[in-house]
Amino acid sequence: MNLPQRFFTVFLLALLAACGASQPASDAHPSSAHDEQEAAEGADHSASEHTRIEAAIAEEVGIRVAAVAAGVIADEHVVQGLLTPVEGHQATVAARFPGVVRALDAKVGARVQAGQRLASIDSNLSLTAYAIRAPIDGVVVARNGNLGAVVSEGSVLFELADLSELWVDLHLFGADADHIQAGAPITVSRLSDGASTQSTLERILPGTATASQSTVARATITNADGRWRPGSAVTARITVAQIPVARAVPLSALQTLDGKEVVFVRDGDEYHAHTVELGARDGVQAEVRSGVEAGDVIVVEQSFLVKAEIEKSSASHEH
């Protein structure tokens, strides 16, 4: 084919292509193409909102599920407080007669029983030794004097405290002071390791704490492990009301996906993200107003693993 013929052929093909592009919209069906594109995007979006995890793998990695059910949301107030010894659970141990300290049997921190010998003193009056004994069961919190020291009558040698129970003094401010009443259940948590224990507010003290200008609410906790220490700061959740709700999910079930709060509903080996509208919540669970129904089986433990799988699937679809 010579050059003029080749040019004519290229021109004719270009002209035919232009004519085809100028066909009426009804022939090209642009709306159908648009619908197909939207359907494809919708399919991709749907695919990015669920994932498949085989039952054996889910079991191995600790994914646990439970059915959505009715629950009770606690109206809670979180306050700060301090641990203090219970009044009447302390004792001082003093020398009865002047003399010289012959023996010191207990160190600071030692647990002692009532009647146990703590020290021996050579009396200047009788020229014989007499024993200093613990008046209560408790812990030695202070020891004064040294071996060979001369002590006078009434000199305090030991301070003991029964720390098997402690007071929790909680500081209430503003409206909390009127809203919180004696008898409310509380959960006390220590800051050192997050351990917690349950108790009940016993009383609201009549005075005001001078330094903080707060009202003090008091509870008592047991100290069986000895790790609750007087003077330590604690936090407490005070429950002032119980609110029944038709659907509640544990906070461990909630995740954020595409900026929305979701839970993952299991259907066989598939896990689908459901956007949820939440209502009241406490430190354990939240009310669900919409997004799932009672009886839906959702992930309640290791939900972040399901989220990670969905995000991984979404990323692969984008590429």
* pLDDT interval class at 22 (50, 70, 90): very low
Bridge partners (DSSP) listed for residue 285: 250
Give the distance from CA 147 to its chain's centroid.
Answer: 49
Which whole number is the average pLDDT over 224-242? 90
- Same CATH topology for 76-86+165-242 and 90-161? no
Q: Give the whole-number percent of the chain exceeding pLDDT 90.
A: 67
62-97: pLDDT as tens digits: 999 999 999 999 888 899 999 999 999 999 999 999
Contacts of 304 (CB under 8 A, 6+ apart): 255
Chain position carrying tokens 């359907």: 39
Task: Read off the DSSP letter of residue 253.
Answer: G
The stretches of the chain forming alpha helices (DSSP H) are 3-21, 25-28, 30-48, 55-61, 176-179, 303-318
Contacts of 73 (CB under 8 A, 6+ apart): 242, 243, 245, 248, 279, 280, 281, 282, 285, 286, 287
Interhelix angle 303-318/30-48, nearest 10 degrees: 150
Res 189: pLDDT: 95
Residue 11 has pLDDT above 70, yes or no: no
Contacts of 158 (CB under 8 A, 6+ apart): 92, 93, 106, 118, 119, 132, 134, 140, 142, 143, 144
Q: Give the whole-number percent of the chain exceeding pLDDT 70.
A: 83
SS3 215: strand
The CATH number given to 90-161 is 2.40.50.100
Res 1: pLDDT: 47
Res 263: pLDDT: 97
User: What average pLDDT does the structure give for the chain?
Assistant: 85
Residue 132 has pLDDT above 90, yes or no: yes
Tally of CA atoms within 13 A in the half-sphere of 122 that contains its CB: 9
Residue 38 has pLDDT above 60, yes or no: no
Res 48: pLDDT: 52
pTM of the model: 0.61
Could you name the CATH architecture of 49-73+244-318?
Beta Barrel (2.40)
Task: Specify whether the CB–CB gap between 297 and 272 falls below 8 A.
Answer: no
Res 7: pLDDT: 33
Task: Specify whether the CB–CB gap between 38 and 294 falls below 8 A.
Answer: no
Q: Domain residue spans in the chain?
A: 49-73+244-318, 76-86+165-242, 90-161
Residue 181 has pLDDT above 50, yes or no: yes
Neighbours of 87 (CB within 10 A): 7
The CATH number given to 76-86+165-242 is 2.40.30.170
Which whole number is the average pLDDT over 110-114? 95
What percentage of the chain's residues is helix, strand, coil (to nearest 5)?
A: 25, 45, 30
Which whole number is the average pLDDT over 21-27? 40
Residue 56 has pLDDT above 50, yes or no: yes
Chain position carrying tokens 């090209």: 28
Which whole number is the average pLDDT over 139-161? 95
Highest-confidence segment of 3-7, 78-82, 208-212: 78-82
Lowest mean pLDDT among 20-24, 106-110, 117-121: 20-24
SS3 199: strand
Neighbours of 166 (CB within 10 A): 25
Radius of gyration of the chain (CA): 37
Which whole number is the average pLDDT over 195-210? 89
Expressed in angstroms, the distance from the first to the final Cα of the chain is 45
